[in-house]
């Protein structure tokens, strides 16, 4: 290499710039206070409540609420009317009455001397005796953020709002932030209200700003703006960054050698406000910080029967410390690296025993959940989960996981083509038209593009490389006694000057005819669909070693590589050996 900077300084400078606000205690406190106040304001408009219409005069309605009801001006209530009775099918005993939706009204005034509240009719022919109600069920809320918003503030606020358990939150791309346009999108998602988030700069101060609109008529009903501290370098969402140029034949901006590594993830796992690097070598998990240098701070060694196949981090339980989600196979499971089978599952054995690690200030890192029969993957702000099956490996649909009643639950089912599993796919809206498509690997490393209706519209003419890990089980078939499932590699969506593109690795084998040697290097491509075919652009070439995992953070690209036979021969002259792994870091955003 011409010149490789020390990764300690490289990554430290990068994280310092992107996490500047987090390391400023005053700024962090201001952010926390602003998020809490905005959250409580929003929740106050959706407190569960029920009352009865007492009188109607034209468009105005008087409603009686019970003493102590938590209500405020601007709230909207659904109105219900007693419907037909329903009886016991055998005894014919009256069980109760059905309810019919009669309309909607908005609380417009404070409590009068007569104990009644004034409301205005939004829609419907209402009658005295009708019931008005805000349900105890989760409220459907459409969440939008302006593109130049501070990403860290947005992530923290979104997580706090979701963590309240009061809302089912929906997101969608929008080219316009006009209330009418946002409301139309919200109605298509069956959302009741719209939230617009931004972080404007005023008088050298950064503010957190939220505005709420009703989806049915785009009327604004609440707004709050709170200072979070002095203006500084803000962190835009990764998808708002641009890959400015090709890095073909470019040396890494930084490089650092690790003892070993197969998979990695980044996030604040100890709650100190700084992102850590979490690395698994397939059995042992190592945690590194970047404060002054790349330094290993903790090691969690697995049992001899433990085999990790993926690792992710996400603060799903919203306690300020990101959980570490480890998908693992234990004794009796099959893992296969290159062409070497480590173990084979016997029929009837339990295979998947995934677990969750979390940092405890008193005890360090410990397992908070174990023996979970699901594969894990984190996509943006979401935890994805798919059930393990002894015979089919990947069983049933992929779900979005939620933190519910102190546990991780598979809740919202994703709509995916039948041959897509939890690994190796990404959602993509090529031209920001609100039409989400899916790109996925198949088991041979070919790429397939599905349109918004789930129809395959394109398949690559070549494979992007063999997957390093596969799972096998006995099928009891004479023709095919062993069935195989591959752990497909990452695909990442990034926003570029073409709207959105997919970032993909192409692995170059040492010798195509000789299995087991790994790859001599990798290339990184960006892919873009023009409506009829895929345009492929080389953005990085000649990355040495076998890339086992990678991540794109805006204009930054992180690659985790292992040595192979070729690098062993190459480095033997200098006394270096191919053991261990290397973390490469490229800045693609520089022009």
With bands split at pLDDT 50, 70 and 90, how would you rate the model's confidence at 367?
Answer: very high
Q: Which domain holds residue 71?
A: 49-134
DSSP code per residue over 127-139:
-TT-EEEE-SSPE
- What tens digit of pLDDT does each residue of 61-88 get? 999 999 999 999 999 999 999 888 877 7
Can you give the CATH number for the domain in which 441 is found? 2.120.10
Q: What average pLDDT does the segment 374-383 reach?
A: 88
Q: What average pLDDT does the segment 447-461 reach?
A: 93
**Is 101 inside any structural domain?**
yes
Q: Sort 297 into a burial class: Cβ within 10 Å, 0-12 / 13-18 / 19+.
A: middle
DSSP code per residue over 31-65:
HHHHHHHHHHHHHHTT--EEEEEEEEETTEEEEE-
Is 351 in contact with 342 (CB distance < 8 Å)? no
- What tens digit of pLDDT does each residue of 573-583 get? 333 334 568 78
Please identify, among 84, 115, 134, the residue that sits at the C-terminal boundary of a domain. 134
**Is 2 inside any structural domain?**
no
Statement to judge: residues 251 and 205 lie in one domain: no
Is 226 in contact with 37 (CB distance < 8 Å)? yes
The values of phi and psi at residue 489, to 5°, are -75, 175
With bands split at pLDDT 50, 70 and 90, how would you rate the model's confidence at 160?
Answer: very high
pLDDT at 121: 97
DSSP code per residue over 513-577:
TSTTS-EEEEEEEEEEE-SSSEEEEEEEEEEESEEEEEEEETTEEEEEEE--HHHHHHHHTTT--
Higher pLDDT, residue 442 or 95: 442
The span from the CA of 235 to the CA of 228, in Å, is 14
Longest dimension (CA), the chain: 93
pLDDT at 539: 80
Question: Which three-class secondary structure state does DSSP give residue 497?
Answer: coil
Whose tokens are 């969750």? That residue is 356
The domain tally of the chain equals 3
**Is 212 inside any structural domain?**
yes
* 372, β-bridge pairs: 354
**Is 429 inside any structural domain?**
yes
With bands split at pLDDT 50, 70 and 90, how would you rate the model's confidence at 479?
Answer: low
Q: What average pLDDT does the segment 29-55 reach?
A: 93
- In our burial notation (b when 16+ CB lie closer than 10 A, e otherwise), range 167-206 reads bbbbebebeeeebeebbebbeeeebbbbbbbbbeeeeeeb
361 torsion bin: left (phi>0), alpha (psi -120 to 50), beta (else): alpha
Q: Tokens representing 107? A: 């609380």
The span from the CA of 38 to the CA of 277, in Å, is 31
- What tens digit of pLDDT does each residue of 293-331 get? 678 899 999 888 888 989 999 999 988 899 999 999 875
Statement to judge: residues 111 and 157 lie in one domain: no
Statement to judge: residues 130 and 274 lie in one domain: no
- What tens digit of pLDDT does each residue of 412-431 get? 999 899 889 999 999 898 88
**Is 25 inside any structural domain?**
no
**Is 529 inside any structural domain?**
yes
With bands split at pLDDT 50, 70 and 90, how would you rate the model's confidence at 563?
Answer: low
Statement to judge: residues 285 and 372 lie in one domain: yes
Q: Tokens representing 322? A: 């990101």
Among 248-252, 372-376, 439-443, which stretch is predicted with the lowest mean pLDDT? 248-252
Whose tokens are 């710039």? That residue is 17
With bands split at pLDDT 50, 70 and 90, how would you rate the model's confidence at 139?
Answer: very high
pLDDT at 520: 57
Q: What average pLDDT does the segment 102-112 reach?
A: 92
Statement to judge: residues 12 and 145 lie in one domain: no
Statement to judge: residues 187 and 203 lie in one domain: yes
Can you give the CATH number for the domain in which 209 is found? 3.40.50.10610
**Is 1 inside any structural domain?**
no
Cβ neighbours of residue 98 under 8 Å, at least 6 residues apart? 82, 83, 84, 85, 86
* 313, β-bridge pairs: 324
Q: What average pLDDT does the segment 180-203 reach?
A: 93
Question: Which three-class secondary structure state does DSSP give residue 246?
Answer: coil
Statement to judge: residues 168 and 155 lie in one domain: yes
Share of the chain above pLDDT 70, in %: 77
Higher pLDDT, residue 586 or 74: 74
State the pTM of this model.
0.56
pLDDT at 21: 39
Statement to judge: residues 406 and 542 lie in one domain: yes
Statement to judge: residues 211 and 326 lie in one domain: no
Can you give the CATH number for the domain in which 95 is found? 2.40.10.170
Is 21 in contact with 201 (CB distance < 8 Å)? no
State the average pLDDT for the chain: 80
For 392-435, where are the alpha helices, taking DSSP H only? Answer: none
Statement to judge: residues 447 and 324 lie in one domain: yes
Ranked by mean pLDDT, which of 108-112, 150-154, 312-316, 394-398 comes out on top? 312-316
pLDDT at 157: 93
- Inform me whether the pLDDT recorded for 404 exceeds 60: yes
Statement to judge: residues 212 and 271 lie in one domain: no
Please identify, among 134, 152, 174, the residue that sits at the C-terminal boundary of a domain. 134
Cβ neighbours of residue 69 under 8 Å, at least 6 residues apart? 49, 50, 51
Higher pLDDT, residue 508 or 103: 103
CA angle 506, 512, 514 (to 5 degrees): 130
Share of the chain above pLDDT 90, in %: 40
The span from the CA of 487 to the CA of 457, in Å, is 23
Please identify, among 134, 153, 186, the residue that sits at the C-terminal boundary of a domain. 134
pLDDT at 314: 93
Higher pLDDT, residue 438 or 579: 438
- Inform me whether the pLDDT recorded for 271 exceeds 60: yes
Statement to judge: residues 36 and 14 lie in one domain: no
pLDDT at 401: 94
- Inform me whether the pLDDT recorded for 457 exceeds 80: yes
**Is 26 inside any structural domain?**
no
């Amino acid at each position: 290499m011409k010149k490789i900077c020390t990764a300690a300084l490289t990554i430290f400078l990068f994280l310092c710039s992107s996490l500047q606000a987090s390391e400023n205690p005053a700024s962090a406190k201001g952010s926390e206070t602003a998020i809490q106040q905005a959250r409580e304001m929003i929740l106050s408009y959706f407190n569960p409540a029920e009352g009865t219409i007492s009188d109607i005069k034209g468009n105005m309605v008087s409603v009686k609420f019970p003493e102590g009801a938590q209500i405020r001006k601007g709230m909207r209530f659904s109105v219900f009317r007693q419907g037909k009775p329903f009886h016991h099918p055998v005894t014919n005993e009256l069980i109760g009455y059905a309810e019919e939706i009669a309309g909607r009204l908005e609380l417009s005034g404070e409590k009068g001397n007569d104990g009644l509240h004034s409301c205005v009719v939004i829609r419907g022919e209402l009658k005295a005796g009708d019931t008005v109600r805000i349900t105890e069920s989760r409220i459907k809320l459409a969440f939008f953020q302006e593109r130049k918003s501070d990403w860290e503030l947005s992530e923290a606020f979104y997580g706090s709002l979701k963590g309240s358990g009061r809302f089912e939150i929906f997101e969608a791309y929008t080219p316009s932030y006009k209330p009418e346009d946002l409301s139309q999108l919200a109605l298509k998602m069956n959302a009741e209200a719209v939230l617009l988030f931004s972080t404007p700069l005023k008088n050298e101060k950064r503010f957190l700003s939220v505005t709420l609109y009703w989806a049915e008529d785009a009327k604004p009903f609440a707004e709050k703006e709170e200072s979070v501290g002095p203006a500084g370098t803000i962190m835009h969402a990764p998808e708002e960054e641009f890959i400015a140029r090709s890095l073909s034949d470019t040396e890494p901006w930084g490089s650092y050698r690790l003892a070993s590594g197969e998979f990695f993830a980044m996030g604040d796992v100890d709650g100190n406000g700084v992102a850590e690097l979490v690395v698994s070598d397939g059995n042992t998990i190592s945690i590194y910080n970047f404060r002054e240098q790349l330094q290993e701070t903790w090691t969690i060694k697995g049992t001899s029967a433990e085999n990790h196949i993926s690792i992710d981090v996400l603060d799903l339980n919203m306690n300020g410390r990101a959980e570490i989600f480890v998908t693992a196979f234990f004794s009796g499971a099959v893992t296969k690296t290159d062409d070497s089978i480590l173990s084979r599952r016997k029929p009837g054995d339990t295979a998947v025993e995934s677990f969750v690690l979390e940092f405890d200030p008193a005890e360090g890192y410990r397992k908070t959940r174990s023996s979970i029969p699901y594969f894990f993957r984190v996509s943006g702000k979401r935890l994805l989960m798919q059930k393990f099956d002894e015979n089919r490996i990947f069983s049933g649909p992929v779900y979005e996981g939620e933190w519910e009643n102190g546990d991780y639950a598979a809740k919202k089912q994703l709509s995916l083509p039948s041959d897509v599993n939890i690994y190796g796919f990404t959602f993509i809206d090529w031209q920001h038209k609100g039409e989400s498509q899916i790109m996925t690997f198949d088991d041979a490393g070919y790429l397939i593009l599905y349109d918004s209706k789930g129809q395959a519209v394109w398949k690559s003419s070549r494979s992007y490389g063999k997957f390093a890990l596969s799972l096998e089980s006995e099928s009891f078939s004479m023709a095919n006694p062993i069935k195989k499932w591959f752990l497909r590699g990452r695909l990442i969506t990034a926003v570029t000057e073409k709207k959105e593109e997919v970032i993909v690795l192409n692995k170059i084998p040492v010798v195509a005819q000789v299995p087991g040697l790994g790859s001599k290097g990798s290339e990184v491509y960006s892919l873009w669909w023009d409506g009829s075919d895929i345009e492929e652009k080389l953005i990085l070439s000649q990355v040495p070693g076998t890339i086992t995992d990678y991540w794109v953070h805006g204009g930054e690209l992180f690659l985790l590589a292992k040595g192979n036979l070729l690098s062993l021969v190459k480095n033997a002259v200098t006394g270096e050996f191919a053991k261990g792994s290397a973390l490469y870091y490229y800045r693609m955003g520089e022009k």
